[in-house]
Amino acid sequence: LKLYDALGKEVLIVPVTNALDNRFSVEALPAGIYFYQIHSASGEVNAHGKLVVTK
């Protein structure tokens, strides 16, 4: 999983080990809108979306 800020800067990379249950902390990130991409082992984007961090 790769997380990008609103400007497109990569801010977090999280290895995905279980397709059904993945958790990660956004505690170190400031409040804002982020975009994520989940990649397959071959590098293809399998899923993408928006994540809102509120504090």
Alpha-carbon distances, residue 39 vs 2, 10, 24, 32, 36 (angstroms) = 8, 14, 16, 23, 10
Q: What is the pLDDT of residue 6?
A: 96
Q: What is the pLDDT of residue 53?
A: 97
Strand partners, 55: none
- Residue 26 belongs to what domain range? 2-53
* pTM of the shown model: 0.84
Mean pLDDT by 10 residues, the chain (55 residues): 97 84 90 95 91 96
Q: What is the pLDDT of residue 17?
A: 76
